[in-house]
Amino acid sequence: MYNKKSVEDIAVAGKRVLCRCDFNVPVKDGKITDDKRIVGAMKTIKYLVDNGAKVILCSHMGRPHNVLNAELKLSKKEKKKIDELPENEREAATAAALEKAKGDITKLSLKIVADDLKAKGINVTLANDVIGPDAKAKAAALKDGEVLLLENVRFHAEEEKNDPAFAKELASMADIYVNDAFGTAHRAHASTAGVADYLDTAVCGYLIQKEIEVMGKALEDPVRPFVAILGGAKVSDKIGVINNLLEKCDTIIIGGGMAYTFFKAMGLPIGTSICEHDKLDLAKDLMARAQEKGVNFLLPVDNKIGREYKEDTVCMEIYSDSIPDGWMGLDIGEKTEELFAKSLNGAGTVIWNGPMGVSEWENFASGTRSVAKAIAESGAISIIGGGDSAAAVETLGYADKMSHVSTGGGASLEFLEGLELPGIACLNEKE
Ligand code: AMP
């Protein structure tokens, strides 16, 4: 289990602290549509400010791949594409590509985040670049308790390449590195991991600390019975998690599209349901291992099936051994809702990742909703993996009834797989 130092374990007063946050917020028509990630970062930011650090915030937003070094330069790939055009078209294509890059700089600038932080009471200045002269001058001029936000770190292609020279430049502005961006902790990028090679003091913020504590405890020393409930479209996305949890859980519940790969492997008819035909042996192997280990492995007993993959398709409920030709499973059925709720009742720890059906369509959201309700009412320590399940508990109003809603979809999956996350591994161990 990770045993990492946090901001509270070090002295930050008077120090320049580079704090990697996850400000990758959704923006529509020039407005932030969900500020959860910024709200989530506030505790660490406030702690650093209140304790007299000179705070340098850093984050990515979106994927501004055609903007290099926060300037209007075209990537090699784009240049090559333009070079392949007939000569008389190149000038116009270059102008169009540059215009698009300009749009991306405006659209993906962290100015919108700076404005939101200001509205939340943080007196922050935005740098016009990331490691350029403006950022460096503003970082050097910071006084204790002041806050600077660097521009979108992905304006540099070097960020995602974990380029050592870029990481070193970032680190040169600070004395201490704080990582609080759990959502990108599974990526070895310059600002999420590489930078720690150049700063002796590297610790986590409150967000990452809570993720490690709650999920680490569940994996190492869970309150039992320990139940995992996994859904979503594909078995292949969850193999690692199922493998790891087979060693640790008392019950594994499978719902969502991936259940049909297991049914197919059992020789049941699945109609036109989603199925990974190349994963049938794997599904058989997982079920055999569950049996060998005495893990209760539950699949849906009935399903809500439709004629087409369409929100308003004609639908009905049917037992899992009787899905007719030409029909597809799109949600778990009512009897399965009851069965899963019963299995969750009395659990000590529950981990949930992935919807029980095509929950973005109201007609097929019932299974996901009932699982969210059953977890909320179970009294168990409840951990909701990021992504679709986190969105589901929020929309359904159960988020504050859960012990922990993870702030990272991909990162929480990798954590539950037992993989080492580079953005956490690079931090100082507690003595
Ligand atoms: P994942 O990203 O693997 O957690 O999968 C989430 C996606 O799985 C959602 O977009 C759901 O629409 C989809 N999904 C869940 N159940 C089914 C199903 N029975 N058939 C097709 N897609 C499904």
pLDDT tens column, 296-324? 999 999 999 999 999 999 999 999 999 99
Query: Catalytic site residue 310?
Result: no
Distances (CA, A) of 53 to 84, 133, 151, 155, 169: 51, 22, 20, 26, 20
The bridge status of strand 124-126 relative to strand 404-405 is unpaired
Query: Catalytic site residue 37?
Result: yes
Q: How many CB atoms lie within 10 A of CB 140?
A: 11
Q: What is the pTM of this model?
A: 0.89
Q: 222-417: same fold as 7-64+108-208? A: yes
Query: What does the pLDDT read at residue 70?
Result: 46
Sign of CA dihedral 393, 398, 404, 407: positive
DSSP string, 335-352: HHHHHHHHHHTT-SEEEE
Nearest-CA neighbor of 118 among 149, 150, 141? 149
Query: What does the pLDDT read at residue 326?
Result: 98
Query: What does the pLDDT read at residue 80?
Result: 86
Nearest-CA neighbor of 2 among 180, 220, 195? 220
CB neighbour list of residue 294: distance below 8 Å, 6 or more residues apart? none
357 lines ligand 1 (CB under 6 A): yes
Please determine, looking at this structure, whether the domain spanning 222-417 carries the CATH number 2.60.40.420: no
Low-confidence stretches of the chain (pLDDT < 70) are: 65-73, 75
d(C-alpha 395, C-alpha 332), whole Å: 19
Nearest residue (by CA) to ligand 1, atom 20, is 257
The residue extents of the domains of the chain are 7-64+108-208, 222-417
Query: Catalytic site residue 387?
Result: yes
Query: What does the pLDDT read at residue 68?
Result: 53
CB neighbour list of residue 77: distance below 8 Å, 6 or more residues apart? none
Q: Which atom of ligand 1 is nearest to the CA of 233?
A: 8
Query: What does the pLDDT read at residue 20?
Result: 98
Return the ∠ at Cα 58 (arms to 174 and 210), rounded to 5°: 95
Sign of CA dihedral 160, 61, 172, 5: negative
Q: How many CB atoms lie within 10 A of CB 161?
A: 14
Question: 249 burial class (0-12, 13-18, 19+ CB within 10 angstroms)?
Answer: buried
Architecture of domain 7-64+108-208: 3-Layer(aba) Sandwich (3.40)
